[in-house]
């Protein structure tokens, strides 16, 4: 898997496209988190052979049952400088899933969960490719994506959590929320260079970010961050009733 040892490309992409986000990035923190996740990915990659790859939730459950998930959380917490006892890993994981990120070990739990999800998504892609899914919800982890990219005349969504990319349409933009394909009811607001922007669907009033510039090449996990630059066009959207 190409991305397993791709820290250098990750940092290079952050520096190259970071200005498109519209805010200053903390590259050192991003680097640290990516290092932790790549270490986790490398660590478990060879251990997945006999584990359940039919469903991400089943995989997470199996990793928890055999104690590997707890070990990953403990190691991640140590790398973050807030080491927790392995006996507290389950509680930290539960708090993370409930959104309580102030709980000790919750950040480490989320980092570990994302790393496992990224590896699963990559293995799924190797087996199934980029499937057609006219939806903003990731078919791998269920997360809602607000990021679309244009690639070789296809329009695809990128998961913010696991990095999986799925195809929504060919040749023209289709709303991932309602399936609307009427060109004149889908507005695209972008900068003069046509690099990043915001799409608005008049049919269902949904909006999402888009990377229009196909020359932007970065690890998929970074694309949603780069696409945040489209948020500056929020003011151009029609005011909802």
- State pTM to two decimals: 0.93
DSSP code for 172: S
pLDDT recorded at residue 238: 83
Q: What share of the chain is helix, strand, coil (3-state, %, to 5)?
A: 50, 15, 40
Neighbours of 2 (CB within 10 A): 8
Alpha-carbon span 158 to 58, nearest angstrom: 22
pLDDT recorded at residue 52: 61
Give the residue from 198, 212, 214, 202 showing the smallest Cα distance to 239. Answer: 202
110 to 74, 91, 96: CA distances (angstroms)? 12, 12, 6
The phi, psi pair for 189, rounded to 5°, reads -110, 120
> What does each of the 241 residues of the chain score in pLDDT, given as a tens digit?
444 458 999 999 999 999 999 899 999 999 999 999 999 998 888 777 665 667 999 999 989 999 999 999 999 999 999 999 999 999 999 999 999 999 999 999 999 999 999 999 999 998 899 999 999 999 999 999 999 999 998 999 999 999 999 999 999 999 999 999 999 999 999 988 899 999 999 999 999 999 999 999 999 999 999 999 999 999 888 865 5
Query: Strand pairing of 147-151 and 207-211?
Result: parallel
């Amino acid at each position: 898997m190409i991305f397993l040892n791709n820290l250098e490309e990750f940092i290079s992409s952050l520096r190259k496209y970071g200005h498109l986000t519209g805010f200053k990035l903390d590259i050192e923190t991003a680097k640290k988190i990516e290092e932790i996740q790549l270490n986790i990915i490398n660590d478990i990659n060879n251990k997945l052979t006999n584990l359940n790859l039919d469903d991400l939730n089943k995989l997470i459950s199996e990793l928890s049952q055999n104690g590997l998930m707890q070990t990953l959380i403990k190691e991640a917490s140590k790398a973050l400088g807030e080491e927790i006892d392995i006996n507290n890993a389950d509680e930290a994981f539960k708090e993370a899933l409930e959104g309580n990120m102030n709980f000790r070990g919750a950040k480490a739990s989320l980092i570990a969960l994302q790393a496992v999800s990224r590896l699963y998504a990559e293995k799924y892609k190797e087996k199934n490719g980029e499937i057609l899914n006219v939806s903003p919800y990731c078919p791998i982890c269920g997360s809602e994506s607000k990021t679309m990219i244009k690639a070789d005349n296809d329009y695809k969504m990128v998961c913010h959590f696991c990095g999986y990319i799925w195809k929504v349409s060919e040749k023209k933009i289709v709303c991932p929320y309602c399936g609307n394909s009427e060109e004149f009811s889908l507005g695209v607001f972008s900068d003069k260079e046509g690099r990043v922007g915001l799409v608005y669907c008049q049919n269902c009033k949904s909006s999402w970010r888009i990377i229009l510039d196909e020359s932007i090449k970065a690890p998929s996990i970074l694309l949603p961050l780069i696409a945040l630059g489209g948020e500056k066009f929020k003011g151009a959207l029609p005011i909802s009733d």
